Chain A
Amino acid sequence: MTPAAPGGGRFAPRLKARRRAGVRFRWLCRLAAAFGVASLVVLLASILVDGLPALSFEFLASYPSRFPERAGIRSAILGSAWMLALVAAMSFPLGVGAALYLEEYAPRNRFTSLLKTNIANLASVPSIVYGIVGLAVFVRFLALERSLLAGAATLSLLVLPIVNIAAREAIRAVPDSLREAAYALGATRWQTIRHHVLPAAMPGILSGTILGLSRAGGETAPLLIIGALTFIAFDPISPMDPFTALPIQIFNWTTDPHGEFHALAAGAIVVLLGVLLMMNAAAILIRNRYER
């Protein structure tokens, strides 16, 4: 106790009790954080234990088969690669273009703010709903059948709001002083966007796009709905080919009633998880690298 504390006897600081409350709370927070880390470790460990033995070059290079010892994920990997490339090609220009329009060109009125709210809503629509839309519009109405293109278009719908929101945030984060600097030299709006706004926003746009793509890479439900659940024993070579994808193959194998394919499913999960983690790491890397 400090002698002659200021304030006379009108304060009862109870410092020890206050400090104890602080320590207790710090431990609660630590526990909450540990829970997240522990569940990730357990999940990864169990997948690796089940899946690593299944991994081999043959597993990656073989088509699916009725015989577990000969089955592989070649067509699923190729299907997923095709899918991601097509989704990127569709969602990047549309998502970024719409973001540029909303942030740089459109007037700020009730209509555009309604638009922005609804894009945020779209980002939280369950993915299976996009599958139903894709089935009705792309597979049936546009008669794309169960092609890579139909699947990629469906997943693009799902990814577009994510790309759009990430791109808009990145564009908004570009300081107005930069735009003013360009305008003041006689730059037109397009010159300002092309030379200053887009380059400054690009790291954020790219990392947001990669996160959106990694979401598309792991989606299963919409592809099941549009009917991608097929046994594919050849390499897809055009966007109009039928396809399978890693999550579909995993789903296919885990539903096997005899359990013979469960180890293969675990192996495919390791591959899918590896790809998605790498994509997320790339997104984080891009973000950190360009953050000043």
Chain B
Amino acid sequence: MAPDAVLETVGLGVRYGEARVIGDISLTIRQKRVVAFIGPSGCGKSTLLRCFNRMNDLVPTVRVTGQVLFRGRDLYAPDVEPADVRRAIGMVFQKPNPFPKSIFENVAFGLRINGFQDDIGDRVEASLRAAALWDEVSHRLEADALGLSAGQQQRLCIARALAVEPEVLLMDEPASALDPIATGRIEDLIGDLRGDYTIVIVTHNMQQAARISDDTAFLYMGDLVEYKETQRLFTNPEDERTEAYITGRRG
């Protein structure tokens, strides 16, 4: 195992009932890198992402084989508490899903349930600043979060995830429901977070992957086809399936 590995899968397979979604994936995600998962719809990139915070547990028919290691510790070991994993490995979803509560409460919820000991107000402010949302909402923290624009809602969801001080941030197509301007701000934000967090982002937008990520993994029909530094993958793909996908001939 590489010394700077944060997440590692070893022979990871996922089935939903009889359907094989992920075959046999072994990969390492290095500390404080931005890693993009790309591939056509149904290739298993979201499923793979959801193995890292045990979100797949919520699917009743799921079966996970192999190992997912977080700093060398098996996330699927029997003594691991999923809630504990999910605090350390945060997640932002495709569609902004703020709680139907105030802006403040959205960020404070994770702090409260996890028994945060310091000043909650300070932490909420710091999180909103980190998510580049503070200036827009500082005067209306008690307003309903659902009154924000979609882009603001998504940044609120990022602030909410950052509040509980995760080490890794998983992002499942975080900008696909947003317009180009809001998308740009999310990408800028990811740039700001780079270096502080390990970020794994699923995207079906290859330009986005090329713009924001350090490493890129191309998945195809449940298999990991190619995984390397983003620049090398896009300029010099080794596998012809990768080349077909990134050049737009296929996918």
Q: Which residues in window 225-281 of A have CB below 8 A to B?
A: none
Min CB–CB distance A102 → chain B (angstroms): 13
Report the bound CA distance from A185 to B99 in whole Å: 12
Report the bound CA distance from A180 to B170 in whole Å: 13
Query: Could you say which residues of chain A place their CB within 8 Å of the CB of B109?
Result: 182, 185, 187, 195
**In the complex with contacts A177-B95, A177-B97, A196-B99, A186-B114 CB distance below 8 A:** yes
Min CB–CB distance B7 → chain A (angstroms): 16
Q: Which of A184, A191, A292 contacts B55 (CB 8 A)?
A: A184
Q: Which of A177, A180, A187, A200 contacts B83 (CB 8 A)?
A: A187
**In the complex with contacts A178-B97, A195-B113, A186-B87 CB distance below 8 A:** yes
Report B215-238 CB contacts with A as 1/0, cut-off 8 Å.
000000000000000000000000
Q: Are A181 and B83 in contact (CB under 8 A)?
A: no
Q: SS class of chain A's interface: helix, strand, loop or mixed?
A: helix
Report A188-199 CB contacts with B as 1/0, cut-off 8 Å.
100100011000
Interface positions of B (Cβ within 8 A of A): 53, 55, 58, 60, 82-84, 86-87, 90-91, 93, 95, 97-100, 109-110, 113-114, 146, 157, 160-161, 164
Query: Could you say which residues of chain A place their CB within 8 Å of the CB of B86?
Result: 183-186
Q: Are A186 and B97 in contact (CB under 8 A)?
A: no
Query: Could you say which residues of chain A place their CB within 8 Å of the CB of B87?
Result: 185-186
Q: Which residues in window 92-111 of A have CB below 8 A to B?
A: 107-108
> In this assembly, does A116 line the interface, its C-beta being within 8 Å of a C-beta of chain B?
no
Report the bound CA distance from A25 to B218 in whole Å: 59
**In the complex with contacts A180-B55, A181-B93, A186-B83 CB distance below 8 A:** yes
Find the residue from A178, A181, A186, A200 having the highest chain B CB count within 10 A. A186
Q: Are B113 and A107 in contact (CB under 8 A)?
A: no
Interface positions of A (Cβ within 8 A of B): 107-108, 175-188, 191, 195-196, 200, 292
Min CB–CB distance B249 → chain A (angstroms): 35
Query: Could you say which residues of chain A place their CB within 8 Å of the CB of B90?
Result: 184-185
19 contacts between A and B (CB under 8 A): A177-B93, A180-B55, A181-B97, A181-B98, A183-B55, A183-B58, A183-B82, A183-B86, A184-B55, A184-B90, A184-B161, A185-B86, A185-B90, A185-B109, A185-B113, A186-B83, A186-B87, A195-B113, A292-B100
Min CB–CB distance A144 → chain B (angstroms): 42
* 8 tightest A-B CB contacts, nearest first: A186-B87, A185-B110, A177-B97, A184-B91, A181-B97, A186-B86, A186-B83, A191-B113
> Nearest chain-B residue to A181 (Cβ)?
B97
Q: Which of B58, B98, B99, B164 contacts A186 (CB 8 A)?
A: B164
Using A182-B99, A186-B86 as known contacts, list a sample of 19 further A-B pairs with CB atoms less than 8 Å apart, ordered by residue number in A.
A108-B60, A178-B100, A180-B55, A180-B97, A181-B99, A181-B160, A183-B55, A183-B58, A183-B82, A185-B109, A185-B114, A185-B160, A185-B164, A186-B84, A186-B110, A187-B83, A187-B110, A188-B113, A195-B109
Query: Could you say which residues of chain B place their CB within 8 Å of the CB of A176?
Result: 58
Report the bound CA distance from A227 to B164 in whole Å: 60
Min CB–CB distance B98 → chain A (angstroms): 7
Report the bound CA distance from A36 to B159 in whole Å: 54
Report the bound CA distance from A177 to B96 in whole Å: 9
Query: Could you say which residues of chain A place their CB within 8 Å of the CB of B95?
Result: 177
Query: Could you say which residues of chain A place their CB within 8 Å of the CB of B99?
Result: 178, 181-182, 196
> Nearest chain-A residue to B90 (Cβ)?
A184
Query: Could you say which residues of chain A place their CB within 8 Å of the CB of B164?
Result: 185-186
Report the bound CA distance from A136 to B53 in whole Å: 53
Report the bound CA distance from A182 to B82 in whole Å: 12
Query: Could you say which residues of chain A place their CB within 8 Å of the CB of B55?
Result: 180, 183-184
> Nearest chain-A residue to B81 (Cβ)?
A188
> Nearest chain-A residue to B114 (Cβ)?
A186
> Nearest chain-A residue to B92 (Cβ)?
A184
Query: Could you say which residues of chain A place their CB within 8 Å of the CB of B100?
Result: 178, 200, 292
> Nearest chain-B residue to A188 (Cβ)?
B83
Query: Could you say which residues of chain B place their CB within 8 Å of the CB of A184?
Result: 53, 55, 86, 90-91, 93, 161
Query: Could you say which residues of chain A place their CB within 8 Å of the CB of B82?
Result: 183
> Nearest chain-A residue to B170 (Cβ)?
A184
Min CB–CB distance B24 → chain A (angstroms): 27
Query: Could you say which residues of chain A place their CB within 8 Å of the CB of B60?
Result: 107-108
Report the bound CA distance from A230 to B98 in whole Å: 56
